Amino acid sequence: MTDNTKTFSFIGGPGTPGTDQDQPGPTGQNGGQGNSGASTRDKNGNYTCSTQPTQGGPGINGGTGLNGGDAGPGLDSAPASISLGLITGIVTIETGGGNGGTGGKGGQGGRGGDGGPPGNNPDGCTNATTGPAGMGGKGGTGGKGGNGGNAATVMITGQLQIGAAIVFNNNHGALGGGGGAGGAGLPGTGTGGGGDLGGGNGGPKGDKNGTPGQVVFNNKPVPPGGS
């Protein structure tokens, strides 16, 4: 005999979340050294610059961060059969697949390369500067969310007493959300340049929710909401 208020749940487990990317994108190469200057010395020991040294080469921009991992789908609920005997109260049946997992976060963009050193500065010439810094790389894209799991059919046998009822909450697994965007990489060091290429994009959500299930009492489908 099943009396008073009782709830039976047949819900699938959640999907596995996507893996967050912990490693940043590749670091940009450092700029090359500038061209050396040249000077001449006269008989009095005075230097005259004939070729000024040049600024160091620019640092290369950091690489794009890696994408977050895709999430797994919600698990389907398993079919079930239960015998309740004489039912004297309210019996609630909850069915549903598991929710899809959330996508993993994208990785940070790579660090920009440093500006290259200036060319060698001989006596009589003017020091050049280091090269401009490379920009921090663009952040990675978040992983895709998982699909919702499907609900199964629950078969019930029993006898309803007057005033008793079977309540059917027909759920389904919801699709998972996309992973967060990766942050922009750090710029390199140098004279001028720098900045970054911006953060990544959020990941796409799952494609679809799971399908709803069904409760059958004594070979008759129970509509959502109650017998």
191: pLDDT strictly greater than 60: yes
Amino acid 129: pLDDT: 98
Q: For residue 37, which of 132, 117, 118 has the smallest C-alpha distance?
A: 118
- The partner residues of 81 in beta bridges, in order of sequence, read 155
Amino acid 82: pLDDT: 94
38-44's contacts with Cβ under 8 Å and 24+ in sequence apart are 38/122, 38/125, 39/122, 39/123, 39/124, 39/125, 40/124, 41/123, 41/124
31: pLDDT strictly greater than 80: yes
Amino acid 224: pLDDT: 74
Residues 137/107, Cβ–Cβ less than 8 Å: no
Per residue in 79-133, pLDDT tens?
999 999 999 999 999 999 999 999 999 999 999 999 999 999 999 999 999 999 9
Per residue in 35-84, pLDDT tens?
999 999 999 999 999 999 999 999 999 999 999 999 999 999 999 999 99
Amino acid 222: pLDDT: 87
How high does pLDDT run on average in the chain?
94
